C-alpha cells in the first residue's frame, strides 16, 4: 500500500547522496542519452544477413540490413490516413527498413559474389525472384522517389528498369506476371499538386449511427475529415501497369485506388481489389468498400467478382468476418483458378451454426458457375495447394482453440474430404508440422511430394518438454503414418529450411547454438554428413560468455512454468545473489496443459538487439526472460475472470525460483514489459510487493478506453464492467508503492495503446504521490526504431534499474526511497 510518509526536499537529497546517485528529474530528458558502452556496442553491431533461396533451390541471395536508422529519418513528414502511415515524399509507406547490400552464392557453397550496379547508398526492399530464378526484382528508395530495379542473377548485375515513379502507399510491391514481365503500381502521370488544407473549414465533421451495432476496437490513424479523404484519394490512387525487362511500360485500366492486386499463376490475368467511397472515420482502409475485378493482360475487365460494401458492422467476437465473398486468392497449382470463402453463419461467431464457411473456385475464363470446394464447420483459415489430387484446407475456431486440416482432391470437387489433423492449436507438443513446399513452373509454392509421389514432407518446431527440437517427417498419404527423417540434436538448434532436389536426399538447414550464430548447412539425410554453406561471424562476440539456461518451476496451483535465464559472464553461485530483471508478456490459454508447455530451446543463439532483455547481464544483472505467465480459463470460464490472481501467482513462482537457485536477491528484483507486458507490470506493482521497481513501455492502463475488447478479451465493457475495472492499473494507481518507469512512443499507432494511456496513468501516479517517471520518445510508434530513441530507452532503463534495484537494500524499503525521490522530482 502507498505510504503516507512525506519527507522534505532536504531529506530527499540526503538520501540520494547516501545512495551515491543524483535525482532523476524531467529535465534529464532534454537530450538523448546513451547507456553503458558495452550495451551500445551490442546495439550498433550489424545484424546477420538475411537469406532468400532461389526457386530452383540452387542459389541464395544474401541480404545485408543496416543497424538502426537515425532520428532524422523518423522526423521526415508523415501522413496518417485510414490506418496507413505514408511517406509522401516518395509515395510509399513510412518506417520501413531497406537493405544496403546484396550478394549471390550457390547452395553448393561457392564464395559469394557482390552484386554490381547497385545505386549509391542503396535502400532495397520488396525483393522477389522471377519464376525461372534468372532475375530478382526489388525497389529502391531515394530521397524523393521509389524506383523499380532488376538484378540479372547470372551476371550478378543490377539496373534500374524505368524512370517511372512507383507508388507503394497501399503496400503492393511489384510482382512477376511471368519470368520477363512484372505488374506494378505507379504514380499516375500528370498528377496535380497535393491538395492544400483549407484555411477555413467548409463545415463541421458529422458522423451518424443508423441504429445497428457497429463495434470497433480502438483503431488509430483513421480518417478524420473531408481533407483527410482528399489526401487519401491523392496518395492512394495509382496507375497499374505491366513492365517488361526492356523497360517498356503498358498501363492497365484507369487510375484508381488499388488496395491489392495479384496476377494469376499463368500471368494472363490480374486480380484487383479497388477501394471506393463511401469512406469511414471508424475503421481502417481495408474495411472500406471494394470492387473486386479480374482484368486481362491488357487491362480490360474480364469478370466482376464482387462489389463489397463498407464493413463497419462486423461483430466483435473473435472469429467474426464480413459477409459475402472474402479472402480472394489464386489456386497456386493451376493456370488461372480463383478461390474465395463465404460465411454461412452471417459472419457472426456468436451465432450457432453447423456450417461456418464455404470455399469456392472459379476457373478461367470466369463465365461459368463457381464450384464448391469445401464446406467447413469452423472458420476458414487458408489453403495449401499441391496438385490435382492434393490440397489442404485449414479451419479453426477461436473459442475452443480448435484446428482442423482437411485433405482435398481439387481435380474432383465431388470427392469426400479426408480429415488429416484435428488438434488444439494451443497444444504445441501435438503440432505435426507444416508441409515442405517447392516452387512450381508458375513461381508459386506448392506442397512437395516425395519422389515416388506417395508421401509429403512435414517440417515442424518440435516443441517438447525438453525444449524445441525442429524436425522433418515423411507423411504417407495412404496410411497417415509418419516416419522421422531428421530431428535437431543437442547441443545444436538446427531448423530444416527446405528439402533439396527431386530425390529429396539433401536438406538445407539453419544451424545455431548459444555461442554460434545461425548459418546454413546442407545435410545428407542418408549419411548425416553436414556441408557448411554460409559462414556468418558472431555479430557481438562479447555476448559469447553469457550463460543461458531453460528453467522449469511450478505455480502454486500446479501449472508448470518455464523461463529463459541469462547470467553474467563469469558469475558463480558462491559470488552471491544478483539483482534480477524479469521481462515478461502474459498469454491467455483455454488449457492448463497447454499453458505449461515449454516454449523455447536452451540451444538457440542469443540474438543481439536493442530489444534484448539479456543485455543487462553485461552490467551485472541476472535476467529471467519470458517467464511463463499464463492466464487460463478452461471450459466456459474466461481467462480474465481471474487475471490478477493468476498473474500474481505466476510472478511469485518466478521470484521464488530465482531465490531458490541462489541467483536472485528477493529485495532486488524488477519487473518489466512492453505493450501488454507494460499492462502486466503496472498490475503487478499495484497488486503485489514482490518487486523493487518496474519498467512499463508503450502500455494501456485504463481499459474503459478500449471498451470493445482488448488483447484476448471478447466481452465489451458493458458486458463485463467489473473485469474492465479490476484489470485496469489506472483504477488501482493508489496501491502502487514501488517506482515505475513509463516509456511511450509519441506516435504510437497500436490498437489501444495511444500515448494518452501513459500520460493519464502518470498523472494519476503523480497526483497520488507515487514515484514515477514518464519518457515520451519523439516520432516513435509502438515499436521504437531510431538509434537515438533506442539508446535513450536503454539509458533510462539502466538508470532506473541501478537506482531502484541494484542499489536497493533490505534495510531501506523501496517505498520510502520512492517517496523521498518524488519530493526531489517535484
Contact 168, 185 (CB under 8 A): yes
Contact 174, 128 (CB under 8 A): yes
Q: How far apart are CA 723 and CA 717, in angstroms?
A: 8
Per residue in 662-674, pLDDT (tens digit) is 999 999 999 999 9
List the Cα angle 299/300/304 in 5-degree steps: 110
What is the 8-class DSSP label of residue 17? H
What pLDDT does 659 receive? 97
pLDDT beyond 90 at 328: yes
What pLDDT does 30 receive? 77
pLDDT band at residue 661, thresholds of 50, 70 and 90?
A: very high
Q: Count the neighbouring beta carbons within 10 Å of the beta carbon of residue 208.
A: 5
Per residue in 260-277, pLDDT (tens digit) is 999 999 999 999 999 999
pLDDT beyond 60 at 733: yes
Peptide bond into 677 cis (omega under 30): no
pLDDT beyond 90 at 474: yes
Per residue in 161-181, pLDDT (tens digit) is 999 999 999 999 999 999 999
pLDDT beyond 50 at 3: no
Q: How far apart are CA 338 and CA 360, in angstroms?
A: 8
CA dihedral for 576, 579, 585, 586, sign (positive or negative): positive
The kind and range of the H/E element at 553 are strand 547-554
pLDDT beyond 90 at 296: yes
φ and ψ of 484, to 5 deg: -80, 125
Contact 336, 363 (CB under 8 A): yes
What pLDDT does 813 receive? 42
The string over 14-46, giving b where at least 16 C-beta atoms fall within 10 Å of a residue's C-beta and e elsewhere, is ebbeebeeebbeeeebeebbbbbeebbebbebe
Contacts 24+ apart (CB under 8 A), 207-210: 207/281, 207/282
- Cα of 518 vs its chain's centroid, Å: 21
What pLDDT does 607 receive? 84
Q: How far apart are CA 492 and CA 521, in angstroms?
A: 13
483 or 13, which is more confident? 483
pLDDT beyond 90 at 806: yes
What pLDDT does 242 receive? 97
Cβ neighbours for 144, distance < 8 A, ≥ 6 positions apart: 89, 90
Per residue in 807-822, pLDDT (tens digit) is 987 544 444 333 333 3
| pLDDT, averaged across the chain | 93
pLDDT beyond 80 at 392: yes
Q: How far apart are CA 170 and CA 84, in angstroms?
A: 8
What pLDDT does 551 receive? 96
End-to-end CA distance of the chain: 21
The pTM score is 0.92
The SS3 call for residue 484 is strand
What pLDDT does 606 receive? 85
The kind and range of the H/E element at 342 are strand 337-343
β-sheet bridge partners, residue 249 = 243
Cell of residue 766, nine digits: 503523480
| Nearest-10 Cα torsion for 817, 822, 823, 826 | 160
What pLDDT does 28 receive? 58
Cβ neighbours for 695, distance < 8 A, ≥ 6 positions apart: 670, 671, 672, 673, 681, 740, 741, 743, 797, 800, 801
Mean pLDDT of 589-598: 95
pLDDT beyond 80 at 4: no
Per residue in 676-693, pLDDT (tens digit) is 999 999 999 999 999 999
What pLDDT does 283 receive? 96
Catalytic site positions = 675, 748, 782
pLDDT beyond 50 at 546: yes
What pLDDT does 819 receive? 38
Q: How far apart are CA 77 and CA 65, in angstroms?
A: 23
pLDDT band at residue 732, thresholds of 50, 70 and 90?
A: very high
- What percentage of the chain has pLDDT greater than the value 90? 89
The SS3 call for residue 730 is helix
What pLDDT does 8 receive? 35
pLDDT beyond 60 at 24: no
Mean pLDDT of 522-527: 94
Q: How many CA atoms lie within 13 A of 292 on its CB side?
A: 18
Q: Return the beta strands (E) in 610-728 as ranges.
A: 622-625, 630-632, 664-674, 693-697
Classify strands 519-524 and 530-532 as parallel, antiparallel or unpaired.
antiparallel
What pLDDT does 501 receive? 81
What pLDDT does 27 receive? 52
- What percentage of the chain has pLDDT greater than the value 70? 94
Amino acid at each position: 500500500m502507498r505510504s503516507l510518509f512525506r519527507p522534505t526536499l532536504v531529506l530527499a537529497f540526503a538520501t540520494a547522496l547516501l545512495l551515491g546517485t543524483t535525482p532523476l528529474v524531467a529535465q534529464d530528458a532534454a537530450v538523448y542519452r546513451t547507456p553503458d558502452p558495452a550495451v551500445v556496442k551490442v546495439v550498433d553491431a550489424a545484424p546477420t544477413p538475411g537469406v532468400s533461396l532461389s526457386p530452383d533451390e540452387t542459389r541464395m541471395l544474401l541480404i545485408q540490413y543496416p543497424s538502426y536508422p537515425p532520428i532524422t529519418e523518423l522526423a521526415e513528414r508523415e501522413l496518417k490516413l485510414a490506418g496507413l502511415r505514408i511517406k509522401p515524399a516518395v509515395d510509399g509507406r513510412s518506417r520501413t527498413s531497406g537493405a544496403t547490400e546484396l550478394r549471390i552464392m550457390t547452395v553448393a557453397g561457392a564464395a559469394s559474389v557482390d552484386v554490381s550496379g547497385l545505386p549509391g547508398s542503396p535502400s532495397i526492399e520488396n525483393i522477389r525472384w522471377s519464376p525461372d530464378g534468372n532475375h530478382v526484382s526489388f525497389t529502391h528508395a531515394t530521397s524523393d522517389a521509389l524506383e523499380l530495379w532488376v538484378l540479372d542473377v547470372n551476371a550478378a548485375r543490377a539496373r534500374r528498369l524505368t524512370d517511372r515513379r512507383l507508388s507503394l502507399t497501399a503496400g503492393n510491391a511489384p510482382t512477376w506476371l511471368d519470368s520477363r514481365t512484372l505488374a506494378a503500381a505507379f504514380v499516375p502521370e500528370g498528377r496535380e499538386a497535393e491538395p492544400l488544407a483549407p484555411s477555413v473549414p467548409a463545415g463541421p465533421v458529422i458522423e451518424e449511427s443508423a441504429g445497428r451495432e457497429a463495434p470497433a476496437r480502438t483503431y488509430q490513424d483513421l480518417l478524420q475529415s473531408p481533407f483527410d479523404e482528399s489526401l487519401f484519394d491523392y496518395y492512394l490512387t495509382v496507375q497499374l501497369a505491366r513492365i517488361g525487362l526492356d523497360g517498356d511500360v503498358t498501363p492497365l485500366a484507369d487510375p484508381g485506388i488499388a488496395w491489392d492486386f495479384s496476377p494469376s499463376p499463368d500471368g494472363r490475368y490480374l486480380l484487383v481489389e479497388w477501394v471506393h467511397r463511401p469512406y469511414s472515420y471508424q475503421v481502417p482502409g481495408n474495411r472500406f468498400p471494394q470492387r473486386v475485378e479480374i482484368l486481362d493482360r491488357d487491362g480490360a475487365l474480364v469478370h466482376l467478382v464482387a462489389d463489397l460494401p463498407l464493413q463497419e458492422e462486423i461483430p466483435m467476437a473473435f472469429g467474426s468476418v464480413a459477409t459475402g465473398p472474402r479472402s480472394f486468392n489464386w489456386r497456386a497449382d493451376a493456370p488461372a483458378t480463383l478461390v474465395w470463402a463465404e460465411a454461412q453463419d452471417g459472419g457472426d461467431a456468436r451465432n450457432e451454426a453447423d456450417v461456418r464457411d464455404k470455399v469456392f473456385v472459379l476457373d478461367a475464363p470466369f463465365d461459368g458457375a463457381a464450384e464448391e470446394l469445401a464446406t467447413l464447420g469452423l472458420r476458414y483459415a487458408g489453403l495449401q495447394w499441391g496438385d490435382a489430387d492434393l490440397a489442404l484446407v485449414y479451419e479453426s475456431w477461436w473459442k475452443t482453440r480448435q484446428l482442423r486440416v482437411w485433405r482435398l482432391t481439387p481435380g474432383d470437387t465431388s470427392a469426400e474430404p479426408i480429415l488429416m489433423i484435428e488438434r488444439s492449436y494451443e497444444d504445441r507438443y501435438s503440432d505435426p508440422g507444416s508441409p515442405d513446399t517447392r516452387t512450381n513452373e508458375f513461381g508459386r509454392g506448392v506442397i512437395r511430394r516425395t519422389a515416388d509421389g506417395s508421401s509429403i514432407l512435414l517440417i515442424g518446431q518440435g516443441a517438447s518438454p525438453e525444449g524445441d527440437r525442429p524436425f522433418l517427417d515423411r507423411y504417407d498419404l495412404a496410411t497417415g503414418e509418419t516416419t522421422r527423417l531428421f530431428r535437431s540434436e543437442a547441443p545444436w538448434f538446427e531448423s530444416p529450411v527446405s528439402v533439396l532436389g527431386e530425390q529429396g536426399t539433401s536438406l538445407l538447414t539453419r544451424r545455431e547454438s548459444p555461442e554460434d550464430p545461425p548459418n546454413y548447412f546442407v545435410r545428407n539425410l542418408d549419411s548425416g554428413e553436414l556441408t557448411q554453406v554460409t559462414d556468418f561471424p558472431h555479430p557481438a562476440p562479447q555476448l559469447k560468455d553469457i550463460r543461458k539456461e531453460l528453467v522449469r518451476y511450478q505455480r502454486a496451483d500446479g501449472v508448470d512454468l518455464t523461463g529463459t535465464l541469462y547470467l553474467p559472464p563469469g558469475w558463480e553461485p558462491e559470488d552471491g545473489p544478483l539483482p534480477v530483471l524479469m521481462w515478461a508478456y502474459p498469454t491467455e490459454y483455454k488449457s492448463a496443459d497447454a499453458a505449461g508447455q515449454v516454449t523455447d530451446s536452451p540451444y538457440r543463439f542469443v540474438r543481439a538487439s536493442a530489444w534484448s532483455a539479456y543485455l543487462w547481464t553485461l552490467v551485472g544483472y541476472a535476467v529471467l526472460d519470458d517467464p511463463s505467465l499464463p492466464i487460463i480459463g478452461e471450459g466456459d470460464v474466461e481467462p480474465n475472470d481471474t487475471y490478477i490472481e493468476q498473474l500474481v501467482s505466476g510472478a511469485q513462482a518466478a521470484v521464488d525460483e530465482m531465490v531458490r537457485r541462489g541467483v536472485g536477491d528477493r529485495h532486488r528484483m524488477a519487473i518489466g514489459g512492453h505493450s501488454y507486458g507494460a499492462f502486466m507490470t503496472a498490475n503487478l506493482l499495484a497488486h503485489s510487493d514482490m518487486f523493487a521497481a518496474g519498467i512499463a513501455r508503450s502500455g494501456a492502463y485504463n481499459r474503459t478506453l478500449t471498451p470493445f475488447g482488448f488483447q484476448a478479451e471478447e466481452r465489451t465493457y458493458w458486458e463485463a464492467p467489473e473485469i474492465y475495472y479490476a484489470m485496469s492499473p489506472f483504477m488501482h494507481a493508489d496501491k502502487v508503492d514501488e517506482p515505475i518507469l513509463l516509456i511511450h512512443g509519441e506516435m504510437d499507432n497500436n490498437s489501444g495503446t495511444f500515448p494518452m494511456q501513459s500520460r493519464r496513468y502518470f498523472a494519476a501516479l503523480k497526483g497520488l504521490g507515487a514515484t514515477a517517471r514518464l519518457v515520451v520518445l519523439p516520432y516513435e510508434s509502438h515499436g521504437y526504431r531510431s538509434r537515438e530513441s533506442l539508446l535513450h530507452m536503454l539509458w533510462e532503463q539502466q538508470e532506473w534499474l541501478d537506482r531502484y534495484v541494484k542499489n536497493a537494500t533490505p534495510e531501506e524499503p523501496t517505498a520510502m526511497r520512492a517517496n523521498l525521490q518524488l519530493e526531489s522530482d517535484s
